[in-house]
């Protein structure tokens, strides 16, 4: 992912982006990040806060878990609204 893609994801998720601190998503939205590196992949779901500094993303999910990811390792992001969640797997992504 590039920084421009990261900013577009925040824009499309309608995140509040303060000058300091993480961007916070509205109550009815979450983001899923699709990450891969060194032959392994993970999905980080239910993200509600994101911060980017020096090519590193800090993503916090609804449970309060913090994930630290390399921006270059994030392949894609999906923005979900509360009425979309739980509708099943999206085409092209396994997980």
Distance separating alpha carbons of residues 73 and 94, to the nearest angstrom: 17
Has residue 58 been placed in a domain?
yes
Distance separating alpha carbons of residues 86 and 10, to the nearest angstrom: 21
- Give me the number of domains the chain comprises: 1
Query: Could you tell me if residue 19 is left (phi over 0), alpha (psi between -120 and 50 degrees) or otherwise beta?
Result: alpha
Query: What CATH number should be reported for the domain holding residue 73?
Result: 2.30.30
| pLDDT computed for residue 67 by the predictor | 97
pTM of the predicted model as reported, rounded to 2 decimal places: 0.84
Q: What is the mean pLDDT of residues 6-16?
A: 96
Has residue 92 been placed in a domain?
no
Distance separating alpha carbons of residues 37 and 70, to the nearest angstrom: 9
Query: For 54-91, what is each residue's pLDDT tens digit?
Result: 999 999 999 999 999 999 999 999 999 986 545 555 55
Query: For 33-62, what is each residue's pLDDT tens digit?
Result: 999 988 899 999 999 999 999 999 999 999
Distance separating alpha carbons of residues 20 and 29, to the nearest angstrom: 21
Mean pLDDT of the chain: 89
Range(s) of the domain holding residue 72:
3-81
Distance separating alpha carbons of residues 22 and 88, to the nearest angstrom: 29
């Amino acid at each position: 992912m590039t920084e421009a893609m990261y900013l577009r994801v925040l824009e499309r998720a309608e995140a509040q982006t303060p000058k300091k601190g993480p961007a916070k998503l509205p109550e009815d939205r979450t983001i899923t990040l699709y990450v891969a590196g060194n032959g392994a992949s993970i999905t980080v779901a239910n993200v509600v806060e994101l911060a980017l500094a020096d090519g590193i993303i800090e993503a916090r999910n609804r449970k309060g878990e913090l994930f630290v990811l390399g921006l270059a390792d994030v392949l894609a992001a999906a923005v979900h609204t509360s009425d979309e969640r739980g509708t099943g797997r999206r085409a092209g992504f396994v997980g």
